[in-house]
Structure formats: structure tokens, C-alpha cells
Chains A and B, each alone.
Chain A
């Protein structure tokens, strides 16, 4: 897949209380992305977002004065949609369904609806998802952290991983965020000891294993590579894009598969990405890995092939995922450090890494990997120059 590229990125500030509506945040981010791409709202003919986004494509189009949309799409499964929005946009561009597609996500996740709370309504929704939730919500597994904790406990049991191994992800993210002025945790690194001292949320997860809650919005502009080359920014070529759902897949509670310690949907994404891009894990310069909860960063490293099953704790030891390490992960600080914009801020960081404009620029010009939400049907991207 070489027909599409990301030509512009835009974001609002990342805060705990935006003071604005989610629609306004979406419009601001899309506008900023178009400005970055040197395109106008009238150039846009496609919009893609998450099913969880509260802003319909037509509402965003109205606010920006986008006159016509020939492609609009929403991708499901929470943060698993992040890279899939670009996947959708790239396919639309490749097929001619649209020529300029903007992908966006806007949320007041801290000042408005907080995902970490128990959403009792999720079990009452008259859908298959609602029915699925009936197998664990009433029993008390009713928050994202709790759903991940069940997998994390089994992972620790099978491979000897510890809470400190999870904490190394936090330390890396927060170290990177500390030098990123856009990050909420700018200039606020943490130590492993601070991670270990943070309180239990859902054992074995501590507070510092859980990403922050944020208000904000991010948008990216996807167009054909040919057109992108005529625009002022260096194009971030969508070298590979893929979605994945695995066997006996549930949303956050795929507890009934033979193996509880993997993310086979991410393995499926990985195989597609490597095949499409014609590269392997060893070629990746830096990876933006979805980090709503630390244990899934370890499991992703295994599913993506950076290390063998159960070996992530060894892989990440000694600062390998920090700047200067073997595989710098989340140089912007990730969702633990920069902001939780449901993975979209990670795509923007990958674009900056391709352009060479990131605040924590990883040297070289190799491919950049991005992944989307874990524990859910997910997606991924490889971006290159």
C-alpha cells in the first residue's frame, strides 16, 4: 500500500478540562490539520472517526464548512479504531472514493465522560456488546483496568513478569513526556519506586499502570501520495495499514480463548503490516505502541515480533524502550505521559518522527510503527518517508 500519505496533523491542547464542547475540539483539530497540510475545508471530501466519538461526520463538516462528503465512516471497538481510521482513509483514497480524508477524535474524557468509571449502561445496551458485558459486568469486572488486570495476572503467572516490569513502561513514557512541552506530564518524570508506591487500582495494576485521562482532540489528513508531494509538508507515507480481530474475540474480555496471555488480533495486524511494508521488526526505527495499560505494551512487543513470547520483560530491561535504547517506544510520552486521545496522538507523533520534527526525535529515517487499542479488535500502521 503506497498510494496514500498523511499530509497534515493537528491537535488542540491536551488538558484535564478543555472548557469547550467535544464538537468544538473536533473542529479545531481538523482545522489545524488542514492548515498544517495547507488545504482548505472545501478540499475535504471524506471524514472518518470512531464509533465512540460523539461528533458525527456531518456535524464536523457543518462546523468547518465542508460542502460535500463522498466518504464517511466510523470504526468501532474503542481505541482499536485509531489506526483503522487512517486505514479507512487510505482505502478511500486508493479506490477514488475520496481525495482528501480527515480522521479525527475529540473527547472530554477527563472533564466529561470518564472511561475509567463503571459505565453501568454498557451492560444494558440492547446489542451483542451489551449481552457480552453481561458475562462480567454484574460480577464486578466493570472497568477497563479490571478487564486488563485479569490478563495481566495470568501473564505474570505464566512468564514470571512482575509489577516492576510493567512499571518500566511507565518510567519510559514519563521520561519521554518530561521533555515534550505538549505532554500533560511535561517535566514530571517518575521513578520505578514511585510506580511501585502508587496505589492499587485493580491488582495487579497500580495507578501508574493506567494511562491518564485527558481532554483534547487530534486530526490527521490523508490524501494520495502524489497530491501529498505537492503540499508543503514532507509526506508520511502509509506504507502499511491493517485491522485485526482474533479468534473468539470479545471487547476487552477475550477470556475464553485457549491462551489468555496473547493479543492474537495484534499478531494478525503485525503479519499484515510486515507483509505490506516488506519489512520486519528489526527495521523499525521507533514504535508508538498503544499504552492505555502497561501490561499490554509488553504483550504487543511479543505479538509484533520484537521478542519471543514471554520475553518482553527481558527485552525492555535496561532502558531498551527509552530514547537511546534498542527500540525507543512512545517518544512523545504515550498516553501515560502525553495525553489519552484514544491513540490518535500517537499517529500524529509517528508523522512527526517521519518528518523529523518531533521534540524527542529518534535519529535515522527508518520506518515508524503505530498500534491502536489493545484487548479489542485493533489496527496498526507503518509510516515511512
Chain B
């Protein structure tokens, strides 16, 4: 029971939610335009720099699945329909003081790909209202809606969309709910990377300079050639002082042992977390986190590859990921042009994605990537890796810290499950503030 929310208010919220649930689906709202090639080309050009310079693949005859929401976005002068359940629920919560909103999850399922010329409509209904919940942002309610897209009466895709409507800790002026809520996670602090940092001494500086440069450096004795980790000022093999010499590790290894840490909390870490002791082929061992790896994916003997987690300008930690099933990283240079063009290509005209002055005035550091773009980035990242024969079945996204203009977003992926002709790929998109997005994409081949 949350003291900030009087019982009467809770009752009112639940009654409103029950009413909206009973009301069921909203009326069908038609897309302005049919599925069409110009918008697809704009979208690909904006979202996927790899396929964007005119030398990309032939024009597709189906739409990228993550565009599903784009077709029915309300547009620059659009408004919510009167019977839109999220709009109605937001109004109830606004009136009771839960004036702020962030999106937390977006799960899309695609029944089939859409061909050019298909005319879509969308209907939405309220799935769930849960609360009051105490979050890092304040006390609030999680509102989940389901949108279903239809083509000539046939359902072709669904999207479960969850927002947190919350009361800011300090009474902030009420604002109307944005068309696209700012992607600031209520649990964003747990995504921040570790604030615990090693002491960098004369004996160890070369190692940390190496991780910053994307190299795993192993101390090598100039006199006898012995390799050693952790490093120190003397060579225990021959007794000569270390001269700072090192070799760069191949960046491969296998799990020698590992821990799944559940409790207690570790500053900057999301639990449970896997930390591995890795045996390198060079003959030394090294400890590193396996970020984003599920415990059941790890075993002693698992081949791994080195990766590097940049904490800040001064510190980059060595880390490990499974060598098999890893997708190559994709680095997205998040320029203002990228933020604006991708927002417009997804028909998202909310000012925080194109108007820097207004974005800053509303408390953001800069303009930032919109959710439809994040969804598109994740889908394209996996599709490009999987190849043209793979069909994307679902994209489930959990939003973390915002990704502002000027930042760099690094997408990394890992095959986490395979069953029959289906694969699940977990994707993490990390920017300077931490994890911007964690996602699971299911594909069929």
C-alpha cells in the first residue's frame, strides 16, 4: 500500500481502468496512406545508414516490419481519437496528479509482412493498469495498451505498449501527455555502469590504457618472456623488474568458472549478473562481466570473446561474451541529423525529437531518439545479420536511458535460443549513459 495514493484515488483509477477494459477496442482508425514505397525508402534511409547511400539493396516489395506503427501515426497535426484508451486513461491519471509519463516497454508481433498498397487501420484497447508502484521516478501506475493493425479485416500485427504515469517527486507543473513519451526508464539508475573503479598505478596503467584502446594487454617480462595477469612491478618467474612490456591478447578464451550474482545489490549493476573467470589461450586468467548474458547460457568451457564496456572517458572495463552466436556490433553515430530524420521518417513529430531548444527547456539534455526509431534500429540490426530469408516474428523492447544527439549507440546481439527454425536474439543498445534499450527479437528462417 502506497501512502501517497489515497484509497479513494486508487479506487477511482481502478474503476476507470475496469470501465475502459470493458469498453474493449476503440473504433478502427485508418492509416492516412497505404503501405507505400516512398515512406519505406525514407525510413530505411534514415534508420539504416548501412543501406542508405543509394547503393543499397533493391527496393523491397514488403515493408520493414518495425514500420507497423509508422503507418498509423497521427502526423504533424494529428490528435488522439476520443475513444483512444491510453488517452482516456492518461486523462484520469493526470487529473489525480500522475502528470508525467515515460514509456517502458514495447512488444510488437508481426503476423505477416505487409505488401505495397495495403490499406491499414488500427484499433486499441486497454490491457492493464497496475499500481500504485514506487519507482525511481516517483509513485505511479503502469498502463498497458494493445494496438491491433488490420488489413481488409485481417489482423496483421499487434503491439503491447506500456507507459508509467507517475507523480514527480516534486510537484511539477502538469503537462499534457506527449504523443510519444520520452524514453526515460523508471529503473534507469540500475542500468548505469559500475561506479567502482580500479586504482590505476604505475604497475597497472598499461592494462587500463589497453582497455580504453580496445586491447586486452597481458604483462610480458622483457627478460624471460613470462606472461602474467594481474600485472605487478616484478617478474615472479625470473626476478627482473617489469619494464611495462605487454602482449595484446587475441581476445578469445573460455569460461574457467563463473558466478551468477543475485544479492546484495552491486552499484551500477543489473542483477542477476554473470561474472566469469576466463582462461585466455595465452595462459592467464581474467575476471570480467558477461553483460546481457542469461545464467543458463553460461557453462564452464564456454568459448568467449573479449568485449569492452566503456564506463566513462577514464575507464573501460574488460568484459566477455559468448563467442558463438554473437552478432557483430553496430555503432550508430547519433547526430542531430540522425535524430531528426529518423523521427520524421517514423512520422513522429513530437518536439523533443527535433527542436533542441524546446527539448532542453523541458528538462532534456538535447533532442533524443524516439521509440519508433529504437524499434527500427533493433529490427534492422537483427534482420541485416539474419539475412533476407529470415522473417521477424516479434520485437520486444525494454527502454532504458535516453539516447541524446551527440551520443554513440552501440548495438550488440546474441543468439539466446534456437528451436526448430526459430531463433531468439537478445539485443542491447548501449550509449554513454548506459543501456538505452534491451530487446528480444524472434526470427524464423
Binding site for B on A (CB under 8 A): 116-118, 120, 123-124, 126, 130-143, 146, 149-151, 153-154, 157, 199-203, 248, 253, 255-256, 260
Contact = CB atoms under 8 A, between A and B. Distances in A.
B277 interface: yes
Given A118-B267, A256-B229, A135 B198 contact: yes
A151 B269 CA distance: 22
Contacts of A138: 194, 196-198, 311, 315, 317
Given A118-B264, A140-B269, A256-B285, A150 B199 contact: no
Contacts of A131: 198-199, 201, 203-204
Top 8 closest A-B pairs, CB basis?
A: A134-B198, A203-B260, A154-B257, A149-B259, A200-B262, A140-B275, A136-B287, A138-B196
Given A118-B266, A138-B311, A255-B287, 9 more contacts: A124-B199, A135-B287, A139-B289, A140-B194, A141-B275, A151-B257, A199-B262, A200-B263, A255-B257
- Say what secondary structure dominates the interface of chain A: loop
Contact of A140 (B261, B263, B300): B261
Contacts of A139: 194, 275, 287-289, 317-319
B295 interface: yes
A150 B259 CA distance: 5
A202 B261 contact: yes
B307 to A, nearest CB: 12
Contact of A256 (B230, B300, B311, B315): B230
B328 interface: no
A255 B285 contact: yes
Contacts of A151: 257
Contacts of B229: 256
Interface of B: 194-199, 201, 203-204, 229-230, 236, 256-267, 269, 272-273, 275, 277, 284-289, 295, 300, 311, 315, 317-319
Nearest to A250: B230
Contacts of A150: 257-259, 275, 277, 287
A117 B104 CA distance: 30
B333 to A, nearest CB: 28
A123 B263 CA distance: 19
A141 to B, nearest CB: 5
Contacts of B264: 116-118, 143
Nearest to B257: A154
Contacts of A203: 259-262, 272, 295
B300 A153 contact: yes
B74 to A, nearest CB: 44
A123 B197 CA distance: 7
Nearest to A132: B230
A202 B260 contact: yes
A367 to B, nearest CB: 35
Nearest to B200: A134
A153 B311 CA distance: 28
A140 B319 CA distance: 11
A154 B256 contact: yes
Nearest to B301: A157
Nearest to B236: A248
Contacts of B272: 200, 203
Contacts of B197: 123, 134, 138
Nearest to B258: A153
Residue of B284, B288, B318 with most partner-chain A CB within 10 A = B288
B257 A140 contact: no
Contacts of B198: 123, 131, 133-135, 137-138
B257 A260 contact: yes
A146 B275 contact: yes
B36 to A, nearest CB: 49
A202 B262 contact: yes
B196 A201 contact: no
Contacts of B267: 118, 120
B384 to A, nearest CB: 31
Contacts of B277: 150, 154, 255, 260
Contacts of B284: 256
Chain B CB within 10 Å, residue with most, of A133, A138, A142, A154: A138
Nearest to A119: B196
Contacts of B318: 139
A136 B229 CA distance: 12
Nearest to A118: B266
A71 B284 CA distance: 43
A120 B196 contact: yes
Contact of A157 (B288, B300, B319): B300
Contacts of A253: 287
Contacts of A135: 198, 230, 286-287
Contacts of B258: 150, 153
A150 B288 CA distance: 12
B300 A154 contact: yes
A151 B197 CA distance: 23
A143 B265 CA distance: 10
A200 B271 CA distance: 12
Given A131-B201, A255-B287, A140 B266 contact: yes
Contacts of A126: 199
Q: Which of A118, A120, A139 has the most CB of B within 10 A?
A: A139
A168 B284 CA distance: 34
Nearest to A123: B196
A126 B262 CA distance: 29
Q: Looking at B195, B201, B236, B315, which has the most chain A CB atoms within 10 Å of its CB?
A: B201
Identify the interface centre among B197, B198, B201, B295: most chain A CB within 10 Å of its CB: B198
